Structures are given as structure tokens and as C-alpha cells.
Chain A
């Protein structure tokens, strides 16, 4: 139906001033907003500017950010993973159970969690590509399943040394020092004992996911699947394998988040990690707005997580009550989505 009759060289697009401004706004608007926030809080909230405060912000978003990087991978292939929060809490419980009840080493506990995360991702992926269950439903089901499953071995109680087991005996194992190091050790950087291990893990994972998605052909093909799955399959890509891989990455990331959470808490707390799913999904979605990407991307996700962290830390230091936190997160998300969809579609509107 589209019989184009373009025969001459295309006219260079009219570069008028307002258009350039809009484009700049789309590209750098969110980063400018972040910078503005930091400046504002530095002036308005004494003690906000400084390495301790910065490290605190990073620490507050590290685990959320790792989960968000995982869910970013599933968003890239046009999917979604609702089970990440429950995978993280399952890893939390599993690592505690491994060490406290089964008296295993830190290494075994970490390994078991990673395998569990990969396995859950594999099942999610198989449900979605082989059984053709829609992604939201498959991972929602998995979420419920895991929330229930992690409570069964301890009959719904938290795990800590000295607890009474369902069989009547007492759990003798302890969290090993090496495991707790993962959550509590701080590296020296500028100041003594500044950077906690989870922050380092977050940064390393962020760089790895960014490299994978942006620089390798596998990342390229995953983006292609997210944009036009059928065309990508017809170009000879094994779409199913990439989709399953994406869910496995997501599962492993979530289990890393859970391990770090367990290491920080030092007990298998049944009630922690409630907010993980929503916070990390929000970070990934806020990431759409960063640099005008209008699509899931690792850098944006990391910035999205930091943005929420900066805002909450700043507001807390300005004595905003704790119960306003979710409202603030929601507002940021809505604004970011407006950025993404209203402005970016205008940019792309010129196409066919």
C-alpha cells in the first residue's frame, strides 16, 4: 500500500530551534534532573554532600539495582519477570537454611542460591516459550509458588541460629564469617571503610550487563527479539534460546540480590524483601527515560535506581516522614514514563 515515490535525495531535516531543544530535553533531561536534585539537596540538606552519604545512597539501592538489571534483560526481549522479588527472598531463605540448618559452608550456600536462581529462570523461560504461557502470568505463578515454597521447610518461621526446627531439635549452624563479609564488609575508598561489598557487586554487575547488552552480538539479537520477534526468528536467530537465557539471567541476578540481603541481615528473615519487586521494576522502567533511550537499558536502569535512592535519602535528611517514600517513588516513575512515552514517540513519529 505504501508506494513511495521518493526519487530525489531526501531533504535534510529542518533543524529548528524548538526541535533541537526537545531532542536535548529527551536525551539529557533526566540526567539534568538527577544533577539538579543532588545540587538542591547538597544546599538544602546539611550533610547530604559527602562520601558517607553517597555510599549510603549506593548501599540503599544496590540490591534493588541488581534485581533491576536482571529484569532489564527480560524487558529487552519483550518479556517481563514478576518472580524476581520472590527469587531474591527464596535465595535469602535458602542461604540461611543451607548454613544454619544444614551447616554448609558459605561457598555451598552461595552456589546453591545461584543454581536455584538459574533453575527458576529456566522454568520461567520454558513456561513462556514452550508452554506459551504469557510472560506476566507465568512469572506471577512462579512468584506465588516461591513465596509459598520458601516458608514450607521452616513452617513459616524465620531462620536464625538456635531456632527450633519442625522436628524438635535445635538448629546449630551459623552464618559463616565469609558469608557475612559479602553483606557487611566495607572497602576503603577515600575514607576508611567506605564502600560496602554489595555496592561493588552492583557496579560490577551493572558494567557486565551493560557490556553484554550493548557490545555483544547476543545483546543485539536480544534487542532485535524485543523489537520484532518474528523478523528476528526469520533472520535465523534461535529466539527461544535467547528468551530462556534472559529469564535465567534475571533469576541469577535476583538470587545474587537475595544472597547479599541475607549477608547483610545475618538471618533468614521471612519478612524482608517485600518491596524488592516493585522497586526494581520501577528502576528498570525509569531507566527507559535516561538518555532518551525509550527502551530498557542497563545504564538507564542503574541511573533509575540511583535516582530513587538520591531522592529518598535527600527527603529523609530533610525530615520527610517515612510513609511518603512510596508516594515519591510512584511520582518519579510516572514522570519518567511521561518522559519516555510522550516525548520519545514524538521523536520517532516521523517514521513509517
Chain B
């Protein structure tokens, strides 16, 4: 086994009752790029925050080059040699300064820095760092004038100026184009050759294929798989990340009604292939795919928040081009967005006020709200979805995450729709609430078409009549939810079929545990 720059043993971390990390064992070897994969909420970012000193761990220990490592603050972590480049580029750079000042920022902060800036020395030192990194940028340029990719490279170069032993990159390509990303990868190749241990967090399979030496998958606060034998088993890594614990819920696939939504050659981005898709009344379609595969983009287009690059959308046989959520709602297309805390919950409101938010007009003759009418509707939705609460007038903040989500979904099931879009309706929801929501969606599905966007495969299996797979903004597969070839879906999700032709997984490899 190669030389481990960093070793993590039995790390645990809980926030209140939430056990976010449940015993993580991990090594990050020097001179290799270790990919860390995990769905939202798997605990990746918590792990990274512990490594870079933002959080402290509850149990377990960490070693850095054989010595105990327990940073109490980000600056301690950096001094010890663990440097992190965060997802949001602007955390790593200061746009109003020039490149040289950005590269030398930490030295300027150092205790041995003088009171006055020696501009010539600053520039020559910065130039040395830049050329060592293979960066060809005039160090006198204002960072604000540079593109996203260059800023990202500067953030990394700045991190490297501290000569770290471990470099952590948190989704560094999320705002880069393919060619920009390639520049980053060249830099990473270079760093790998100099013996830096790199931990690279990403969902983009194309990136992972390009640079991975090892892959570690996380799920529910645990390491669910480590892959280091060449050739790497990408599909296995995705399986381990998404889980495939096929659940006890059996779906009786319903008969399709008339076509409600029809997409003709819709392209989500310049790079994506045209999508043709029909969704029927009395049907629940799950659209799955990794982060960035285009799920949210598609939902946004259907709800009038974005417009497709090209193509036509038809709703009930008529062209459908919503320019705003108001348009979409007026046409009977409702959407429950993902990330309820930022996109859904009105924290100052009680359950009733949250539930009736989009349809206050129906409870307000002459604009005056009828508390009774609102309450009746809320009580019926509370019953239908099994919201655990004391009264409909409880503050939304007193509910558990799962029950808050029930209210968010109930908000859009309270009135009849033609097409109901549910973006990650099971995000941060316990298994019981998930079942309640799923049952309720299926029970009421007869009068409308329903699309559920879900990254986690078992969620899709639990709810859908049909499953469509998106990969890098293109539709790569459709499956009726009966005797599904799980291997085929996983291959499509991870882009395997697109690269290697037919799926090659034998069923034994992906069977339920």
C-alpha cells in the first residue's frame, strides 16, 4: 500500500439528534487523486468541514503523515498542511485585487510580513508560484476581469502556495465548461505528479473518469464502497452511492391515460441531445440522474423559470410556453421545488398559511381571507398526508423535516392540477414520511400527470410507473417500473452505456443486500 498522507479512523459527528457521520474510515494516499462521491446529505461536506477545521468531530481520530491531526480552526488545518478549495469560487479569491495579491494573500497575512508591501517582491514571488503551477496569467491583472475558470485556477494556485500535503477540492468543476475543466485537470495531473494527496469531491462522471485514481462512495454517513483496482468500477461506485436497497413497496403499474405533456426535441443545453418524452394522465413518471444531469433544469423549464435551448412543449394538445410560474400555474402545471428550506417553507407562517400559499385567492372572497375555508382545506390535507402536528395553526418550524415536506407537497396537491412536478420530494425526509408522501401521490395520480424528479434510485422505484434517466442533459433511457433491469438503469445513470455501449453488469453485482 502506498504512503498515506492522511488517515481518518472511526470519525463520527452528530448535529443534535442527526448522526451525520457514523464511523468513517478513510485514507488519502499521497500522489493520487481520491474521488469522494455521495448524494446530497450523505455527509460529504461535513467530512470535508471536519478535515479543514470548520467542525470538530465527536469521536474517532485523524492522522496527517502519521501524526495526530485535530484542527480546531481552518487556519490550524492550513498550517498543518490540509488546504481546501470550496465549491463557491468566490470564497477562494478576492476579485478587487490583482492576481499577485491574491496568490500572496496568505503570506501578506503571515506574522513575518512587513507593514509596507514590497510590490516588486510580491510580483516576482507571485510569478514564481504561477509558473510552478503552469499558469500563464499576467500577475498584475485584476481578478475581477478574469473568467470563472481562471479564477478557479487562481484559487487552487493560492491554495498550493501554502505547499499543502493534502488538497481538498469541493466540486471544483460545477461552474466550468468542458474545456475550462480540462485546464484544471492538467493542473491536477501536475500536482499529482509532485506527490500531493488530492481529495476530489464531484458528481460529474466525465470528470471522474478523467482523473480518478481511487473512488470512495459515501451514503448515509458511512463509507459504502472503496474502489481502487484498475480499471475502476464506476458503475459500482454509483451503485454504492445511490444505494439499491430495493424497498418493500410494490408498484402496480397503472394504465396510461391520454397524453398530458409532450416534449418534442427539447434541448436542455447546447450540449444536450434533443429530448422526446410523453407523460400521460394517471401516470407517475420518475426522472432520475446524477446532480447536474438536467433534472432541475427540466423542472424549471416546465414551470416557466427557464426556457429550453430549442424544441416544443405541448400540454393537453396545445403549445405550452410558460414565461413565469404564474403562467404555469394558470395552465395547471404545479411544481414543488427542491430544497424546501430555501425554496418552499415560509418560516414565519404556520401550517395553514404555508399550505394555502399558492391558492390564497380560492380562500379569499373579495380578497378577504376566510380562516375557516383555509382551515378546512388544511385539515383535509393533514389527514390525507398524515402530517404529525397538534393543530393546523402550529408554526411550520415546530414540525420535523418529513412533516414540513408533507406540507410542501400538500401545498400543491390541495388543488387539482394537469401536471404535477415534484423536484426531490423526499429530500431530507425519514422513511415513514417518504412512504406517506409516496402513497398520497400515487393515490391521487388518476386525475393528472405526475413527474417526480429524484436522484436516488430507490425513491424512483418506490413511486413511479415509469422511470426516465437523464445523463448530462440528455435522455438516455426509459423503463417501465416492472421487472426493471437495475443494472441497465445504473449503467445509464453513470453514463456507462453512453461510453461503453451496452450495459455489462451482471445482475448478481447489483442485487439488493
Contact = CB atoms under 8 A, between A and B. Distances in A.
Partners in one complex: yes
A113 B399 CA distance: 49
B390 interface: yes
Contact of B353 (A7, A10, A220): A220
Interface string B426-456: 0011101100000000000000000000000
Contacts of B390: 10, 12
Nearest to B40: A1
B357 A216 contact: no
B388 A235 contact: no
A232 B346 contact: yes
Given A6-B430, A10-B390, A351-B398, A236 B367 contact: no
A235 B357 contact: yes
B369 A2 contact: no
A37 to B, nearest CB: 30
B396 to A, nearest CB: 8
Given A233-B325, A234-B325, A236-B325, A3 B430 contact: yes
A238 B397 contact: no
Interface stretch (A221-229, A250-258, A328-336): A221-229
Contacts of A4: 17-18, 400-402, 428-430, 433
B79 to A, nearest CB: 29
A130 interface: no
A128 to B, nearest CB: 19
B477 interface: no
Nearest to A238: B326
Nearest to B397: A351
Interface in A207-257: 215-218, 220-221, 223-224, 226-228, 230-238
Interface string B101-114: 00000000000000
A267 interface: no
A348 B502 CA distance: 55
B74 interface: no
Given A1-B428, A231-B342, A223 B349 contact: yes
Contact of A234 (B335, B363, B388, B433): B335
Interface in B310-357: 324-326, 328-329, 335, 337, 341-349, 353, 357
Contacts of A235: 325, 357-358, 411
Contacts of B344: 228, 231, 234
Among A1, A217, A218, A235: residue with most chain B CB under 10 A? A235
B400 A234 contact: no
Among A223, A236, A351: residue with most chain B CB under 10 A? A236
B421 to A, nearest CB: 11
Nearest to B371: A215
Given A1-B20, A220-B369, A235-B411, A10 B388 contact: yes
Contacts of A218: 367
B368 A215 contact: yes
Contacts of A215: 368-369
7 contacts: A4-B402, A4-B429, A216-B369, A217-B369, A220-B353, A231-B337, A234-B335
Given A223-B349, A236-B358, 9 more contacts: A4-B433, A216-B364, A217-B360, A217-B367, A226-B348, A227-B349, A236-B326, A238-B326, A351-B397
